Structure formats: C-alpha cells, structure tokens
C-alpha cells in the first residue's frame, strides 16, 4: 500500500485516479509521495519515507530541489497542463489593458441608480475609450507551452508576434515557424514591441529581467504582462516607469505590494491556472506521474 499526502488542495478530480493500492495520509512524514500546488516546501524537513514530490503546475520554485536531490527524492512537474488557462488570462489581460472595461464596469455599477444615466453615457464613452490590439506588435519572451499558445491566439487576433526563446523545442519552433517572427535576443523585443509578455522560469539569469535598463530600451507607453513569476520584474524600476508613463500598463498575476494600487496596474492573485480544466489537467498528470514512478519506476517530467 502506497501512502500519499496532499499538501494543499490541487483539484477536484485527479486524486480519484489513485487506485486501492493508495491511501491518503495527513502525515507528511509517512507519505511515499507528496502532491503540492503552491504551498512552499522550503521550510520542510523531508522524511526518508518520501520518494517523490509532484508539483501540480509548471514552476518548481516552491520545492527545495537541492535538498530533494540530496535525499534522492524525485521531483515532478506538469508542463503544459495549465497552459491554456494561463494563456486565456494573458489574452484577457491584453484586452483589459487596451480597453477600459474595468473602469466602464465600475462606472455602471456606481451610476446604475441614476435615472439620467443615458445622458451621462456619452461622457463615459469618451472617458473609457481604448485602443485595439489588432495590428499591434506582441513580443513573447519564452516560447514554451504557454508562450506558444499565446503566440497562436495573438496571431489569430491579428497581432504581429515576435518571439525569443533560445531553448525552444523543435516541435514549437516548427509549429510557430510561419506565424511568429523569431528573434535572437530579448533586446529585439524590448525595442520593437507594443506589448511584452514574459513566459520564462525564475532562474538566476532571468530574475529582474524587466529592470531599469531593459525598460529604457522599450517604446514609450509599452504594455508589460507578467503571468510567470513576480521576481522577473524589478519593482522599483516598474514603479518609476509607471509614474513616468514609460510603461502605460502593467498586467501582473501577482499581488505586488509596491505597485498593485498604482494607476496603470491590473493585478490578479495568481489566477492564471485557476480554471477547472487546468486544475484537473495538472492533478491528473501529477497523479499519473506518481503512480508510474512508484509502480513501474518510470520517471517523466522530472
Ligand atoms: C505554475 O507554475 O504552473 C503555476 O504557478 C500553477 C499554479 O497557479 O498553481
């Protein structure tokens, strides 16, 4: 009998596909495998029982990788399983940054009781007027599962798409070869694009990749989207750029304390992968990885 622990809820389904050979335990130390979504495991002392950790998501920065490697604990993730959910919220972010739907909606709620609302609507239509994304240049840094899906969606909406990814898979390179302008450095994206969306993991060399110097290269009034990891963006530089208007809108999936309340910021509490479909896909993939490892010794997505 294998035991598993679920550190935080990962989905409504997924756990059902554990067979009778598995038992859920609340005791992390007794578990053969741990499933985790966003809870940090950095302060945890893993017991010798633990053989595998599966992250229901793409990023693994909430898991102490070195410690796991030393103890021989295999760490899995679920690449691509939530890519569609994230992509759809990025698309919504681009649209919300271009059209003041949030302001317009707030205005209607505030003024709905006013019997003369129709008269003031002309003013509102001017106040909340926006721009269109068709024909605009979108730069995507990182053409993995999410970046590639975003590229396709943006092309379908008539955007001119530029992508940079030195590690792009042959599959994605082939699939995007006709629709995306592949550039060899992020600089090309910084200098040319109206929208810039980052889709890279948080590593030493990607930390604060959006900073004072890189923002200085960008077009005035650029719109930046960050649905990957908070620390990819230097907060001080972003605050300054928003104040000066260099960055027109910053759409982020992180509730950052420095910039969250600033004009021009649209922030979400890490909602990209929070769809029924993405949560289920991640949970099913994570459980299958654990089962295939514990039952057959197979290691995929580690
Ligand atoms: C990811 O790394 O894929 C996301 O952080 C997943 C999540 O929101 O849990």
pLDDT at 11: 67
Give the pLDDT band (50/70/90) at residue 9.
confident
Task: Give Cβ neighbours of residue 185 (< 8 Å, ≥ 6 apart).
Answer: 164
Q: Which sign, positive or negative, has the C-alpha torsion 44, 278, 97, 105?
A: negative
Whether residue 107 contacts residue 130, with contact meaning beta carbons closer than 8 Å, is answered with: no
Query: Residue 247 phi/psi, 5° resolution?
Result: -100, 120
Structure confidence by residue, pLDDT tens digits, 18-35: 888 999 999 999 999 999
pLDDT at 256: 85
pLDDT at 13: 65
Structure confidence by residue, pLDDT tens digits, 46-67: 999 999 999 999 999 999 999 9
d(CA 101, CA 109): 12
Instruction: Please provide the average confidence, as pLDDT, over all residues in the chain.
Output: 95
d(CA 109, CA 66): 51
Q: Confirm or reject: Cβ of 270 under 6 Å from ligand 1.
A: yes
For the chain, the maximum distance between any two Cα atoms, rounded to a whole number of angstroms, is 71
Cα of 189 vs centre of ligand 1, distance in Å, is: 25
Structure confidence by residue, pLDDT tens digits, 167-203: 999 999 999 999 999 999 999 999 999 999 999 999 9
Q: Confirm or reject: Cβ of 182 under 6 Å from ligand 1.
A: no
Q: Domains, the chain, ranges and CATH?
A: 2-79+276-296 (3.40.50.720), 83-267 (3.40.50.720)
pLDDT at 257: 83
Q: Confirm or reject: Cβ of 152 under 6 Å from ligand 1.
A: no
Structure confidence by residue, pLDDT tens digits, 139-168: 999 999 999 999 999 999 999 999 999 999
Cα of 84 vs centre of ligand 1, distance in Å, is: 12
Q: Confirm or reject: Cβ of 275 under 6 Å from ligand 1.
A: no
Looking at the chain, the whole-number percentage of residues with pLDDT higher than 90 is: 89
Q: Confirm or reject: Cβ of 80 under 6 Å from ligand 1.
A: no
Residue identifier of the C-alpha nearest atom 6 of ligand 1:
57
Give the pLDDT band (50/70/90) at residue 116.
confident
Q: What is the DSSP string of the chain?
A: -EEEEESS---SSSGGGS-TTEEE-S-GGG-SEEEESS---TT----TT--EEEESSS--TTS-HHHHHHHT-EEE--TTTTHHHHHHHHHHHHHHHHS-HHHHHHHHHHHTT-TTHHHHHHHHHHHT-----TT-EEEEE--SHHHHHHHHHHHHTT-EEEEE-TT--HHHHHHTTTTEEE-SSHHHHHHH-SEEEE-----TTTTT-BSHHHHHHSPTTEEEEE-S-GGGB-HHHHHHHHHHTSEEEEEESS--TTTTTSTTEEE-SS-TT-SHHHHHHHHHHHHHHHHHHHHH------
pLDDT at 30: 95
Q: Which atom of ligand 1 is nearest to the CA of 273?
A: 8
Structure confidence by residue, pLDDT tens digits, 123-140: 999 999 999 999 999 999
Given a cut of 90, whether residue 14 has pLDDT beyond it is: no
Give the pLDDT band (50/70/90) at residue 16.
confident
* Residue of 270, 271, 280, 281 best suited for mutating to test ligand 1, as the one with most atoms within 8 Å of CB: 270
Threshold 0.90, pTM exceeds: yes
Structure confidence by residue, pLDDT tens digits, 265-291: 999 999 999 999 999 999 999 999 999
Q: What is the mean pLDDT of residues 233-258?
A: 96
Token duo for residue 69: 């490697």
The ipTM estimated for the assembled molecules is 0.95
Structure confidence by residue, pLDDT tens digits, 71-110: 999 999 999 999 999 999 999 999 999 999 999 999 999 9
Given a cut of 90, whether residue 211 has pLDDT beyond it is: yes
d(CA 266, CA 69): 38
Q: Confirm or reject: Cβ of 281 under 6 Å from ligand 1.
A: no
Paired sense of beta strands 2-6 and 195-198, if any: unpaired
Q: Which atom of ligand 1 is nearest to the CA of 82?
A: 3
Strand order through the sheet with 160-164: 180-182, 160-164, 137-141, 195-198, 222-226, 247-252, 265-267
Q: Confirm or reject: Cβ of 38 under 6 Å from ligand 1.
A: yes
Residue identifier of the C-alpha nearest atom 8 of ligand 1:
273
Which residues on adjacent β-strands are paired with residue 249?
Answer: 223
């Amino acid at each position: 009998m294998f035991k598993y622990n679920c550190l935080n809820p990962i989905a409504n389904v997924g756990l059902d596909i554990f067979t009778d050979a598995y038992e859920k335990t609340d005791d992390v130390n007794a578990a053969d495998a741990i499933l985790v979504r966003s809870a940090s495991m950095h302060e945890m002392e893993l017991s010798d029982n633990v053989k595998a950790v599966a992250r229901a998501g793409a990023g693994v920065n909430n898991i102490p990788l070195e410690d796991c490697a030393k103890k021989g604990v295999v760490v899995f993730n679920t690449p691509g399983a939530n890519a569609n959910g994230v992509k759809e919220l990025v698309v919504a972010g681009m649209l919300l940054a271009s059209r003041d739907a949030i302001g317009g909606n707030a205005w209607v709620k505030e003024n709905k009781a006013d019997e003369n609302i129709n008269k003031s609507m002309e003013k509102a239509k001017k106040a909340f007027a926006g721009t269109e994304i068709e024909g605009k240049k979108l730069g995507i840094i990182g053409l993995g599962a999410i970046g590639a899906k975003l590229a396709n969606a943006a092309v379908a909406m008539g955007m001119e798409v530029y992508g940079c990814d030195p590690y792009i898979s042959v599959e994605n390179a082939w699939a995007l070869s006709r629709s995306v302008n592949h550039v060899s450095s992020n600089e090309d994206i910084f200098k040319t694009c109206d929208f810039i969306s980052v889709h890279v993991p948080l590593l030493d060399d990607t930390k604060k990749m959006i900073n004072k110097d890189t923002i200085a290269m960008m077009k005035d009034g650029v719109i930046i989207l960050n649905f990957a990891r908070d620390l990819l963006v230097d907060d001080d530089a972003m605050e300054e750029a928003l104040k000066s208007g260099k960055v027109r809108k910053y759409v982020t999936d992180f509730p950052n304390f420095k910039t969250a309340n600033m004009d021009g910021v649209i922030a979400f509490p890490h909602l990209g992968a929070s769809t029924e479909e993405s949560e289920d896909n991640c949970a099913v993939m994570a459980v299958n990885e654990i089962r295939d490892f514990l039952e057959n010794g197979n290691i995929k997505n580690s």
